[in-house]
Structure 1
Amino acid sequence: MITKGINHLGLTVRDLDQTTAFFTELLGWKLLARDDSYPRTTVSDGSARLTLWQADRTAPKTDFDRKANIGLHHVALEVETEDDLNALAGKIEAWPGVTIEFGPEPLGNGPRKHMMFAEPGGIRLEIIWAAGQ
């Protein structure tokens, strides 16, 4: 194998400041870089690294449709415990601009659980508690 994993995932978002705040303020990720000349930020939780790109504000926006668009379906982030999932779900549900697809529920036959939502910039995210699997 010549590759060794994903260096970063680049995502285009509706509002760079809103999405950056979601990751840094709500999820506690660290802001690694910001470049206002080519509007983007880079955020990380110490394991995953995302580069967030501002969509052209002058162009019409088309929301992502996971069933019709080629490309990103969602980004899945893992939490350590079921309590972490439930606590984070409450914070996510209260965050302005978030659209909840479904709250914490069993994944398949369990015991794993997950939730799906779109953060304010329109990126579909999943939070998973893997139940030690």
Structure 2
Amino acid sequence: MTAVAPRGLPGLAGVEHIGFTVPDLEAATAFFTEVIGCELVYTLGPFQSDGSWMTDHLNVHPRAVMDRLAFFRCANGPNFEVFQYESPDQHPVPPRNSDIGGHHLAFYVQDLDAAVAHLRSHWVTVLGEPTDSTGPSKGQRWVYFLAPWGMQLELVSFPDGKAYEGALDQSERQGVRLWQPEMPDQSPR
């Protein structure tokens, strides 16, 4: 009998952090702490190299300078590692979802309408109105918004779950549920 090699990374435990670059780390810190509600944990930097270290280790221009980086914790879920770089070949415009490498971060909230009102009260650009999902995501509501530097972000909520959780049988979804943050217990103690 031939042994089958296990799939994936040995010891995989989950997503520890997500990293992205902003044009002004101080302004991004204010946005993530004051508007979103994340906590700044620590900062580092600057980092630069006269050799090829930046290219060899980070796949950036060899003369790129990582001015600073900051780690944030945003309630439950992966940490954020946020960079501020200077680089001779830097692209100053964030990618759209339709661009290769396009991305967004989604924040789970219990009350989507209250969260949208909060963003609007802070003059955050909200893209359209909340959308009710259909199909396997039925039960979910979402809306996109923009960080002050143009990065795409999303609010999402599905307090009663999504349709796929009950509508699809175990063989179709292989017993796997999407991960979602757990809300802290709000009951009085």
- What TM bracket, shorter-length normalisation? 0.7 to 0.9
> Cα distance 1:39–1:94, how it changes in 2: closer, same or farther (>3 A)?
same
Q: Which residue of 2 aligns with 1:31?
A: 40
Q: Give the aligned length.
A: 128
In the aligned structure 2, how far is the partner of 1:57 from the partner of 1:25? 28
Higher strand share: 1
Q: Does 1:130 align with 2:139?
A: no
Q: Which residue of 2 aligns with 1:92?
A: 119
Q: Does 1:11 align with 2:20?
A: yes
Structure-2-length-normalised TM-score: 0.59
* Percent of aligned positions that are identical: 26
Q: Which residue of 2 aligns with 1:41?
A: 70
User: Based on CA coordinates, which of the two structures has the bigger radius of gyration?
Assistant: 2
For structure 1, the residue ranges without an aligned partner over 5 or more in a row are: none
SS at 1:19 equivalent = helix
CA shift, 1:90, in A, is 1.3
Q: Does 1:66 align with 2:97?
A: yes
SS at 2:86 equivalent = coil
> Cα distance 1:107–1:30, how it changes in 2: closer, same or farther (>3 A)?
same
Residue of structure 2 aligned with 1:76, choices 106, 115, 131: 106
Structure-1-length-normalised TM-score: 0.80
CA shift, 1:5, in A, is 0.9
Residue of structure 1 aligned with 2:129, choices 74, 81, 103: 103
Q: Which residue of 2 aligns with 1:56?
A: 86
Cα RMSD for the two superposed structures = 2.3
